[in-house]
Structures are given as C-alpha cells and as structure tokens.
Structure 1
Amino acid sequence: MMNALDKFTARFAPRWTLERVRARMTLDTAVRHYEAAQQGRRTSGWARSRGDANATAGSALAELRMHARDLERNCGWARRGLSVIAGNTVAWGIVPRPKHAQAKDISVLWKSWAESLRCESGGRLTFYGLQELVVRSVARDGEILIRRRPRRPEDGLAVPLQLQVLEADYLDTAKDNLTGEAGGPIIQGIEYDKLDRRVAYWLFPEHPGSARSVGQSKRIPASEVATIYLPERAGQGRGVSWLAASVLDLKDFDEFEDAELSRQKVAAMFAGYMTDADGVGGGAFGESDKKDPLTQHIQPGTILSLPPGRQVTMANPPSVVEGTFAQRRLRKVAASWGVTYEDLTGDYSQVNYSSARMARVAHWRNVHRWQWHMVVPQLCQVVWGWFIEAAALAGLAPEGVEADWTVPPMPMIEPVQEGLAYSRLIRNGVLTHAQAILEQGRDPELHWDEYREGLDELDKREIWLDSDPRRTSAAGLTQERAGLNKGGDTSEEGG
C-alpha cells in the first residue's frame, strides 16, 4: 500500500519510491512474524529499553541494593535464600592445590596465612569465611570489591598481605561518561583503556553511608582491586543484584503473610453475643459492666450481652487458599535465584529420592557456574597471585607458582546408593580414583598420604578391619580365602 507521500514522489523518482515501499513491506512482514515485536494491546503498556548493559543498569543498581538489603534484614525468606546460595557455593571453602615441586611447603605457608583471621584487614574472617561473605554479597548487591593491602614485614603476618572487603557503594558512580588517563572511558566509577581493559577504580576512602566524612574519591590502579560479579550481558561492567527479579514478589509476599497473620488473629477473637430482652444486662457474661459492650475490646472466647434492639454483624472477609498460593510464590522466587524450593523453604514433605536428586543436580549446575565462572577466576586466582607475589618479595616462596582449586562436593542424598555408583564407575574405568576424590572436594595427593598413614598405623597396632581392602574383599571374604594373598594360599587360615 502506498501513502500520499509515496504517490507524490512516485511521479519524480519512481525507482526510489519502489525501493522504499518494498523495504517497508519487508519490515512489516518481519515484525508480523513475531507477535512480541508488534505494537498492540498486549504490548502497549510494556516499557522496553534499547540501552546497553551499563546504560540499562545505571542508577538502578543503588536502588536495587537498598531493596535487597532491606529484604535480607526483614524478610526471612530472603535471608534463607542468600544463606543457601553462599553455603552451597563455598561450604567449608574452595581450596588451592599448588603446582610446584615445593607444593607441600607452599601449602603450609598458605594455610598459616589463609586460615588466620589476620588475612582480612578487619581481623574477623579467614579467607574461606571471606569467600562466603563475597558470594552472599554478590547475590544480594550484585557485586563486591576486594582491595589488596600490602603490609610491612614487621607487622607480624605469615605473609605481608591483607585483604580489604569493600561494598559496591565505594565506587564513585559520579565519575561517568568521562575520558580517563589511559584514553578510554570512565563508566560508573570504573576506568578503561582504549582496548576496553580495566585500568583503575575511583573509590571513596569511606563508605558513603557511614556517619563519617566520605571525602573525595581516589584513583586506585586495577591491579590493586578485584571485582567479583556475574556478567549476564556482553559489555556489562557492573553486577546487578540477583534478587532484582524477585524483589517485588518477596515484598508483596511478606506483606501477604503479615495480612494473613492479622486475619488469623481476628479469627481467633471468636465471640458470642446475647441480646437481653429485659434490657437489664450489660458487660461480659457473668460480670457487671456499665460500659457499652460495642466499644469494648473483644478477647478470645468472650460472651457479651447486648441491650434490646442492638445487633452485631461480624465481617466475613474472603478466604485465600494460603498453602497453594504461598508455594507458587516461593517456587517462583526460588527459580529466579537458581535454588530449589525445598532448600529455600526447608519443606521436603513432597519429594522422594528421585525428585530430590533431580532438583539437587539442576541446582548444582548453577553452583558449579557460580564457582568456576565467578569465585575461582575472579577471587581465588587473583588472591593467589597476590599471595605468591607477596611471599616471593618476602623470600618465603618462589615466584610464579600457580594453583588448581578444589571445590566442595555436592552433598549425597543417599550415600549408600551413590557410593556404590562411584565404586562401579571406578571399577569399570569410567572414573579414576583422583577424579572421584576431587569430586568429593579433596586433594588426591593429600588424601592418599593420609590414607597411607592410616594403614601404616593399623598395621603397627596389628588391627584388622573389614573395611581394609588389603584384608577383606568386596564380598566380605578375607583376601586369603579369596585367593588374593601374596603367596597364593587359598586356605581359610592362610597357613
């Protein structure tokens, strides 16, 4: 179809008009293929943005952090969900395994620093406690900063290094849409170079929400700061609270529970009323009270007498099927966070082994993503580099030592069945002993050292256990009876 403008231009530029009409028809056809792309009744009130990841977040980050923190303080479901995310991701800690000839000595040095409260500048957390704080903060606030704080040898630390945890509020977001010293942009307090690499952070010396004077922000080199967040869009420089999609649901549900509690309180005030035909009575049953019974506070189980002609009609608010409604809302919240409904609520009444394991496996995929895409590369490896650098400068360790990281395992739901599955996988060659040990969150080398020490101790004390595979077969027979002793003796007594 040609409009008036097309008809007019067709007289002077017919070829250009034809191309224009074809282009518009092609666009209209493409839009009709996607209902969501059309402008109609169902999309008329839908506010959508074309902004990039940073423009879309913008000033909303601070508001989302405030809402999420308030929910953590005042909503038990939010507090529980954050604990589940942090606990499952970190558990007892994500532990390094140095890759070096002096691995044992470096591990001892790491333990003396990382498992001490003095590794954190505030002196309140070990490195593994700091891991849990980081994951909880990222889930709630969307991001968190760790600043390297070098110390002097006379400070008495195992390694002259401490870590300072800074909330995202420390970033000076007023430093925005500027050009930095490296020639790149400054976006929301983060300075980039021309190759889009982070070169500095503009940080306040104090938390902007503290009672002390904040002062002017300072430029801190990016080599001194680690930023931990989970990018969800290309080019995303800041982290968004994981609670963003559920903030309104949680707030509304929290208010619903308060209203439901009030309704139950009103229901508990069940009272009876008597009309005194003689007009003599007044007050509670069995008592004498000159007050107007309609102005008295009703207590549970109270029976009031009313004067002649008075009638009371009790309010009967509509009922809500609370159980089904609550489950739906909490399942939606759990799904938006990537945790299971059962972990969020502690309600395991409707699951069996199969459904529980399927839900746990699905949730553990998210846990692995948080561990290997965020915590290990953004926190653990960065801190390990700082640790080795500080130890090398102090002459305590060689330079450039790298490490692998062992994450906590997925808890077993049915240890007997799952343990048997591990045994069969190893026996059939599908899984190695080292892989199985790593999946249990252990260092294979350390595991076998401890295992050997345990066996030597049993031999020293001449203790034979039926759990010792050198002595007892899987069928419960002694190795001598099974014909597996070194001398090949198959007699029951082996002699």
Structure 2
Amino acid sequence: MGGFEAGQGSRRLRHFQPSRAHLNTLIAAAGADITARARWLVRNNGYAANAIESWAGNVVGDGIKPSSLIADADLKARVQRLWLDWTDDSDAEGFTDFYGQQRRAAREVFIAGEVFFRFRPRRPEDGLMVPLQLQMIPSEMLPLTRNEQLPGGNVIRQGIEFDRIGRRMAYHFLRRHPGDVTDPGLSGETVRVPASEVIHVIDPVDAGQLRGISRFAPGIVKLFLLDQYDDAELDRKKVAAMHALFITTPAPAEPFDVAESDEGGERTMDLQPGQIVMLEPGEEVQTSAPADVGQTYEPFQYRTLLQVSAALGIPYAYLSNDMLKANYSNSRLALLEFRRRIEAYQHSVMVWQICRRVWARWLDTAVMTGAIALPDYEQQRRTWLGCSWLPPKWDWVDPLKDARAEIEQIEAGLKSRTQALAERGYDADQVDAEIAADRARERQLGLSFGSASSDPTLLNDAQAAPADNQANVAAD
C-alpha cells in the first residue's frame, strides 16, 4: 500500500529483518558476551580506556555531595560533619570513600550497563561513626539465566524476584563470581538478598527493561576492528622496516664474499656509513620500498572514531585526546551538549538511584544508633531527609566572559547566588559562613583583599584595628 518506505520489503531492505524480541530476551541471550567484550576493550584498547575515564570524571569528578535542607544551621552543620566522617568508612572493601564508590559505579554502569550496592549493617564494636557500609557487587554476580516460578505466586526473572503486582522483592546473587577461579566458594550457589538491602543502578533504555546493557554495545564492533586494523598496519610497518637492502644474483648457490650467515642460516650483510661494497658479476642491490599507509589512513581513522564517539556519547576530543581538529566554537558546542547529557544522567541515575537511597539509609541508621539526635524523627522523617545534591562544578571554557555573564545574571535577578553556587558544587550556607569568617579575620588582622579594599566600612575598620591594637599594648 506504500506509505512508510522503512516498513516495506523492497530490494534495499530485503535483508534488513531485525528481531522483534523484547530487550530482556536480547540481553538474556547476548548480555554476558557484550559485557565480557566491553571489559576486554577497556583493558586492552586505549580509546575505550580513555572514554570510560572521561565519562566517570565528568559524571562524578570528586563526588556528588549532599547539602542538607535542615533549617537549623547548627544542627545542619552537625549532620554534614557526621556525613563527611562516615564517607571515609562507607566502602566495605576499604579501597575508597563514598565518592570513590560513586566513580566506580559510573564506570561499571558504562561498561556493564548496571551495578549493585548492598547495604551492610555493622556492629557497634566495629568502631564506625555510623554502623553502615556499602558493598559493590558486579553485574555478573546476578545470573541472567535464573528464571523460575516460586510457590506463593512470586516469580524470578533474570535473577530478580517479583511479587504478584510486579514489585521487586529480592535479588538472588551468586556467592562467588562465575569467572573468579581464586574464590574457593561453591560455583553456582546463590543467596537471596531482600530488595530493601540492594541498590540496583541501571540506566534503562526500553520500557519494562530488567537488566542493564553496556553503553559500549553500539561501538564494540567498530572499536575492535579498528584496533585490529591499527595493529596490522603497525606490524606491517615494523616488518618492512627490518629490511634495508635486497641483493639479487643470477647464481644464488654461490655466496658473495661480504655475506655472513646468522643463526638461522640466512645470509645477511652489515652495512656501515660510507661503506663501499664490491659485488660479484651479475649481482644487484635493491632498496626496500614498503608501501606507505597512504593518504586515506588519517581520514579513515578520524571518520571511524567519530562514529565510535557518537555511539558512546563521548565527544571526539575526549575519546581520542586529539585537540588538533578542535577550535573554540565547535569545542564549546560539543562541551555544552555533553554537559546536558551528563546532567541528565547525574539526576536520573546517580542522584536518584544511589545518593538518595544511601542518604536515607544512613540518616535512619544514624538516628537509630544515637549518632545524632533529630527531634520527632519518625513523625517528620521526610522533612529531615530533605537534601540537595551538588554535582562537581564545570570548569569555564572562557573564565572571564563566563564569570561576567553570570554576575550580570545575578544582578539582573535572573538567578540567585545560591543557584550559582550550587551549579559549582558548593553549599551557599557554607560559602557565606566562610566569607563572613574571612572578613572577620581580615578586620582583626588589619588586612584587606579584593572587594574589601573598595568597601569604606571595611577599610575604616581595617585602619582602625592597628591603632586599637597599639592602644591596647600601651595600656598593658
């Protein structure tokens, strides 16, 4: 009937017959292989390794940090100090702090499409500020092939247990990693962990998706083939560079006098600068003329890496570290687009799935164990849990122009200082308190910096401070 050409079986589309299976089915069939290949690329391919570091550095940086919305300034400061002390103890493995776990989570979700955190309550004698830790569990620990109907109506799908109305009730993790031969545990043995104790970090792309898929999936084939092509070119050039000259003779059975035999019996000749070699009659010298990579090598590499860049959602310059093709305008446009994607990911994945869950569980544990006292916590829990999460600040592309533009926006009432500081990853209350403390110290010591030198009140106070100090010394 015509209509959409994309839905017709014309000659050009005759062999374009994509699967109609749901994404869960496709992940169950190929998810493990895709994850294994993505991990291999990160370990062995420089572009893949650079892409993952760029992603984690921009998403997390030095950490997405909380700013409690508690109105009482003293109580808020106590909560913030307790949280900061606990972040050093959050990792059950002891390798990093909570913000380092955020970075590891961003890496894992990019590579494997998902990662799990398990809350680990601790005993008081463990000596933690708040008796709670987080254990990171890789995606391979939750078997994709575990599907069964349980007595009572619950069902397990790809290792996740659901009740009759589709709520997640538990996760059936393997006790040991299926690929870790150093773990003496029983292979295939699983343990049921309640869903309330698990954080499943995932960036779903389809409705109804249960498990994650690697962000490398659209670019794995091109990255791998490009890597093989580069290796073949490098090896070809290396082999060609090993041969400087070839000598041909009409009587190959008769060796020439200057030739020597190496350990393999091959005839070789060592040449010195300015050396004159007398050849036998009929012998000729031919230089090695290996074929060059050609003028298409660089454009081909560039175009292929652009496709990989688009597949991974990483700017070309961040993927390749190639700044030669970048100018101010296109770099700024690419950076702005990349930051929009990063901000969306920070909100929908990192903050919503990890930070909020951890903050709520941490504050519940802190109150229940007496680490901090919050009045009427059970009745006003939602109020006490109020918190803003501040991602790492973006560096300015043009600091002078960007700073002036932001100052004008604040002065015109288009944005507040609180908003501007939050965009840089700072808490406005903390910044104001630090500024007030700095100004007070400047007045006490008779110093003036920056805007203080143009403030008559601060100048008078600063000038009066030394005189007051001398009068006090004379009186003593």
Q: Provide the TM-score with structure 1 as the length reference.
A: 0.82
Structure 2 counterpart of 1:419, which letter?
Answer: A
Query: Are 1:273 and 1:306, in contact at CA under 8 Å, matched by a contact in 2?
Result: no
**Alignment CA distance shift 1:64-1:306 (3 Å):** farther
Deviations 1:162-210 (A, max 9, x none): 110000111133321x234663432100111222221111111221222
**1:188 and 2:158 equivalent?**
yes
Task: Please say which of residues 352-361 and 308-317 is displaced more in the overlay.
Answer: 308-317
**2:446 aligned with 1:471:** no
Equivalent residue for 1:221, pick from 180, 183, 194: 194
Q: Partner residue of 2:111? A: 140
SS at match of 2:136: strand
Once the two structures are superposed, the pairs formed by residues 246-325 of structure 1 within 5 Å of their partners are: 246-269=219-242, 271-274=244-247, 282=255, 287-289=258-260, 295-296=266-267, 308=282, 317=291, 319-320=293-294, 321-325=296-300
User: Equivalent residue of 2:12, what SS?
Assistant: coil
Q: Partner of 1:58: helix, strand, or coil?
A: helix
Residue in 2 aligned with 1:392? 367
1:357 aligned to 308, 332, 338, which one? Answer: 332
CA distance in 2, matches of 1:282, 1:417: 76
Q: Which residue matches 2:436?
A: 452
Q: Secondary structure at 2:409's aligned position in 1? A: helix
Distance 1:295 1:189 in 2: 62
Q: Please, which of 392, 402, 421 is the counterpart of residue 408 of structure 1? A: 392
Q: CA 1:283 to 1:358, structure 2 compared with 1: closer, same or farther past 3 Å?
A: farther
Counting aligned pairs with the same residue, the percent is: 31
Letter of the 1:261 counterpart: L
Alpha-carbon separation, structure 2, partners of 1:299 and 1:235 = 70
* Structure 2 CA distance for partners of 1:199 and 1:181, relative to 1, 3 Å: farther
Q: For 2:260, give the aligned amino acid.
A: D
What is the Cα deviation at residue 447 of structure 1?
1.0
CA 1:109 to 1:260, structure 2 compared with 1: closer, same or farther past 3 Å? same
Residues 259, 268 of structure 2: 8 Å contact kept: no
- State the alpha-carbon separation in 2 of the partners of residues 244 and 326 from structure 1: 20
Cα pair distance change 1:292/1:60, threshold 3 Å:
closer
CA deviation map 1:10-63 (0-9, x unaligned): xxxxxxxxxxxxxxxxxxx2xx21222112332232241112221122131111
Shift of 1:151: 0.7
Q: Does 1:378 align with 2:378?
A: no
What is the DSSP-based 3-state SS (H/G/I as helix, E as strand, rest coil) of the residue aligned with 1:430? coil
Question: What is the alpha-carbon distance in structure 1 between the residues aligned to residue 63 and residue 417 of structure 2?
Answer: 22
Count of residue pairs the alignment pairs up: 442
Does structure 1 conserve the Cα–Cα contact (< 8 Å) formed by 2:114 and 2:213?
A: yes
Q: Which residue of 2 aligns with 1:13?
A: none
Q: The residue matched to 2:340 in structure 1 has which SS?
A: helix
Query: Which residue is 1:490 aligned to?
Result: none
Q: Which amino acid aligns with 2:432?
A: W
Out of 97, 105, 111, the position equivalent to 2:78 is 105
1:156-167 paired onto structure 2 within 5 Å? 156-167=127-138
Distance 1:189 1:278 in 2: 74
Can you list the C-alpha shifts for 1:374-430, whole angstroms capped at 9, x where unaligned?
A: 010111111112111211220123343312211112221121111111111111111
1:53 maps to which of 12, 20, 23: 23
SS at match of 1:471: helix
Between the aligned partners of 1:306 and 1:324, the Cα distance in structure 2 is 47
Taking the aligned partners of 1:419 and 1:300, their CA distance within structure 2 comes to: 64
SS of 2:402's equivalent in the other structure is helix
Q: 1:428/1:214 Cα in 2 relative to 1: closer, same or farther (>3 Å)?
A: same
- Deviation of 1:316 after TM superposition, in Å, equals 5.5
| Residue aligned with 1:119, SS | coil
CA shift at 1:231, angstroms? Answer: 0.6
Q: Secondary structure at the match of 1:183?
A: coil
Give the equivalent residue in structure 2 for 1:12.
none
SS in 1 for 2:192: strand
1:193–1:291: structure 2 CA closer, same or farther, 3 Å change rule? Answer: closer
Q: Secondary structure at the match of 2:189?
A: coil
What does residue 430 of structure 1 align with? 414
Q: Is this contact kept in 2: 1:275–1:307, CA < 8 A? A: no
Select which of 108, 120, 124 maps to 2:95: 124
Q: CA deviation at 1:265?
A: 1.7
**How many Å apart are 1:323 and its aligned residue?**
1.3
1:203 aligns with 2:169: no
Moved more, 95-104 or 425-434: 95-104
In the superposition, relative to structure 1, how do residues 300 and 410 fare at CA in structure 2: closer, same or farther (>3 Å)?
A: farther
Contact kept, 8 Å, 2:92 with 2:134, in 1: the verdict is yes
Q: Distance in 2 between matches of 1:406 and 1:97?
A: 7
C-alpha change, 1:133 and 1:383, in structure 2 (3 Å) is same
Change (3 A) 1:280 1:243: closer
Work out whether residues 172 and 193 of structure 2, in 8 Å CA contact, stay in contact via their aligned partners in 1.
yes
What residue ranges of structure 1 are gaps of 5+ in the alignment? 1-28, 473-478, 487-495
Is there any run of 5+ residues in structure 2 with no aligned partner, and where? 461-476
> Given the superposition, is the C-alpha separation of residues 215 and 461 from structure 1 closer, same or farther in structure 2, using an over 3 Å criterion?
same
Deviation at 1:268, TM superposition (A): 2.6
Aligned-pair distance for 1:358? 0.8
Equivalent residue number for residue 322 of structure 2 = 347
Contact 1:282–1:292, Cα closer than 8 Å, also in 2: no
Partner of 1:419: 403
> Could you say what secondary structure the match of 1:149 adopts?
strand
Residue 275 of structure 1: how far off its partner (Å)? 5.2
Counterpart of 2:412, as a letter, is N
Cα gap change, 1:289 to 1:419, in 2 (>3 Å):
same
Alpha-carbon shift at residue 83 of structure 1 (Å): 0.3
Q: CA deviation at 1:453?
A: 1.0
Report if aligned partners of 2:201, 2:354 keep a CA contact under 8 Å in 1: yes
Indicate the RMSD between aligned Cα atoms, in angstroms.
3.1
Task: Provide the C-alpha distance between the structure 1 equivalents of 2:230 and 2:156, rounded to a whole number of angstroms.
Answer: 45
User: Which residue of 2 is the match for residue 86 of structure 1?
Assistant: 56
